[in-house]
Structure 1
Amino acid sequence: MTVDLLNPDDLPTPTMYSHVAIATGTKLVFIAGQEPEDLQGELVGPGDLAVQARQTFANLSRALAAAGARPDQVTRLGIYLVGYLREHQAIVQAARYEVFGDHKPTDVMIGVAALARPEQLIEVEAIAVI
């Protein structure tokens, strides 16, 4: 499987993602929205986006591994943040980097009013090609 990530010259170059992902492979993997929960389903880091983001991306990494996918095979992320503020980008990027390193799949970051649990601040879904 190969993923070619592109940023066209006639678009601004983003720092956290790529504009285009061209994937060649044989299997698509869709990862449901991962939440900031521990193995027992308990919310981690109430009120702390940094802690919740790290747990969420760690859970995403485990879900990818269960499907036989690696982070560098992810082509798209959907990131949902409660009460989104621009300064949240740096917090999310730090947690994201722990899993993806320099791999920058396409993404969307969406501010939402609420998620499944009232204390939940972030949820992340993914698509990979393996």
Structure 2
Amino acid sequence: MGVSSSGLAQETSKPVRFFDPPAVPVAKGYSQAVEIDLGSSKMIMLSGQVPLNKEGELVGSNDLSKQAEQVFINIRHIVEEAGGSMNDIVKLNYYMINVGEIKLLRAVRDRFINIKTPPTSTLVQVSKLFRDDVLIEIEATAVISKNK
């Protein structure tokens, strides 16, 4: 540990790193992800991802399949930026306007995750998301081994 000019000991390395990968939309007032050092691995917790491309444009107006695909692409970008892959996803939290479209979501999801050992998940139907044209938001957590 080093000593700051105020005389207080400061840790030389933080166990937590917030980051915003360039391949996803710029976050306004929050971080897209946080990396938590767990010793031999690291946990990546993602903010809820929505169907916006890196330019901040909506993908898939009124089309849950296209919106879900963009969300999973955003999740993949963030996890890969942290040195992992979609196989490292351990938890998914889904927020949907219409859970009646679950089959569409599952079809898209299964193209991105390891279906032999799928992550844990929670699905919640909501009346509204942050924009009227957004049909889905997904949070993700990954645990990535440092010994890859």
For the pair shown, the structure with the greater C-alpha radius of gyration is 2
Three-state SS of the structure 1 residue aligned to 2:99 is coil
Is it true that 1:129 corresponds to 2:135 in the alignment? no
Is it true that 1:112 corresponds to 2:147 in the alignment? no
How far apart are the structure 2 equivalents of 1:30 and 1:52?
A: 21
Out of 52, 56, 68, which is 2:83 matched to?
Answer: 68
Deviations 1:15-60 (A, max 9, x none): xxxxxxxxxx521110111110112101111111111111111111
Deviations 1:58-84 (A, max 9, x none): 111111111112111111000110132
Partner residue of 2:98?
83
TM-score, normalising length: structure 2? 0.66
Structure (1 or 2) with the greater helix fraction: 1
How far apart are the structure 2 equivalents of 1:80 and 1:53?
A: 11
Three-state SS of the structure 1 residue aligned to 2:66 is helix
TM-score, normalising length: structure 1? 0.75
Ranges in structure 1 where 5+ consecutive residues have no aligned partner: 1-24
Out of 77, 101, 109, which is 1:96 matched to?
Answer: 109
How far apart are the structure 2 equivalents of 1:41 and 1:74?
A: 24
How far apart are the structure 2 equivalents of 1:110 and 1:26?
A: 29
The count of residues paired between Structure 1 and Structure 2 equals 105
Ranges in structure 2 where 5+ consecutive residues have no aligned partner: 1-39
How far apart are the structure 1 equivalents of 2:96 and 2:109?
A: 14
Is it true that 1:31 corresponds to 2:49 in the alignment? no
Deviations 1:65-119 (A, max 9, x none): 111121111110001101322xx22111111112114241000011001111110
Which letter does structure 2 place at the counterpart of 1:92? Answer: L
Extract structure 1 runs of 4+ deviating beyond 3 A.
Answer: none
Larger RCO: 1 or 2 (CA < 8 Å, sep 6+): 1
